[in-house]
A and B are shown apart, each in its own frame.
Chain A
Amino acid sequence: MDRYSRNKKMISLTEQETLSRSTVVVLGVGGLGGYVMEMLTRIGIGKLILVDYDRFETTNLNRQIISTEINLGLLKVEEAKKRAEIINSKIEVIGVNKKISYNNIDEIIRGADVIVDALDSSKLKKIVEVSCNRNKIPMVHGAIGGWIGQIAVIMPGDFILDKIYKKDDLENKLGNPSFTPALVASIQVGEVIKLILNKGELLSNEVLYIDLEYNSFTRLKI
């Protein structure tokens, strides 16, 4: 059976081919990025560029899907690449073991169709937003803290992160459980697919703010 046969009905053959010709950059392969990588690999995005500079440690095990007791101490991008390759050998996966900065972000994202922000620093997220705008690439922003998740699609020309993060770096005092990143990553991947296939309605110029403790999903026109 065709590996993508269960994608059919919602993704046509032509659309599946479009996905296989697409390049997505996943910035950060920790909590959010691990799940994002997993889903993009399985759905059949043709080229994935995974970016992180960190190594797995014990505190990642509660949520980061790629971390296991066996790969502690190893590079996140290398482990993510290995996992992607054993899930789907039909796609190309590139691991970039770098911390992103003003100096290297343009060369990392250039040529991509969509950028996924799975970073854990609002300062770095803003650097990415500026670069995406300069390179005219849409960015799917995601962030979590405790029971809270937020998602937004930032189209070239839009700047919303300065309106969300008024201070350069936000202290994470809410913690990082397993289920919030999985949920936010799923919504991010849905937005990536809609962007690439030009389908449905995007979360652009607004932020979806999810408070799972009270099951509230609020769309904020910020």
Chain B
Amino acid sequence: MGNINIELRLFAYLRELLPFESRGLKKMKIKNNLTIDRLMDEIGIVEKEIMIVMINGLRKLDYSKTMNEGDRVAIFPPVGGG
């Protein structure tokens, strides 16, 4: 079991989960068997089920999947106000 490097980008209020200076961007080393679901747990995202998760520009709905070396992971909370 090895490690892989990913780039994590958080939007809106999720940015607050990362240090202020990072502006929502973090390069991370993660275990290669870490799922999207567990990654969100590690970051501290509570409402995982409402989030829009994109990996390399493609929408991911199945959070049980793992990631690959160099993946760009972006997480967006949708809004619904009018």
A residues apposed to B, CB below 8 Å: 28, 30-33, 118-122, 125, 142-150, 163-167, 169-170, 172-174, 176, 181, 207, 209, 211, 213-214, 216, 218, 220-222
Contact = CB atoms under 8 A, between A and B. Distances in A.
Given A146-B13, A222-B52, A33 B80 contact: no
Contact of A119 (B77, B79, B82): B82
Contact of B54 (A166, A172, A216, A220): A220
B82 A120 contact: yes
Given A166-B50, A167-B50, A221-B58, A143 B11 contact: no
Contacts of A214: 15, 23-24
26 contacts: A31-B82, A33-B82, A119-B82, A121-B82, A122-B80, A125-B80, A143-B79, A143-B81, A143-B82, A145-B79, A145-B80, A148-B12, A149-B79, A163-B61, A165-B80, A167-B49, A170-B78, A170-B79, A173-B13, A174-B12, A218-B11, A220-B54, A221-B57, A221-B59, A222-B52, A222-B54
A209 B82 CA distance: 15
Given A143-B80, A144-B82, 18 more contacts: A30-B82, A32-B82, A122-B80, A125-B80, A143-B79, A145-B80, A148-B11, A148-B12, A148-B77, A163-B59, A165-B50, A165-B80, A167-B49, A172-B80, A172-B81, A176-B81, A181-B82, A209-B11
Nearest to B74: A218
A10 to B, nearest CB: 28
A220 B81 contact: no
A149 B77 CA distance: 11
Contacts of B15: 214
Contacts of A173: 13
Contacts of A211: 11-12
A220 B13 contact: no
A120 B78 contact: no
A133 B59 CA distance: 23
A45 to B, nearest CB: 20
Given A146-B13, A167-B50, A222 B82 contact: no
Nearest to A120: B82
A222 B80 contact: no
A222 B79 contact: no
B16 to A, nearest CB: 11
Sorted nearest first, the 5 A-B pairs with minimum C-beta distance are: A145-B79, A120-B82, A170-B80, A122-B80, A222-B59
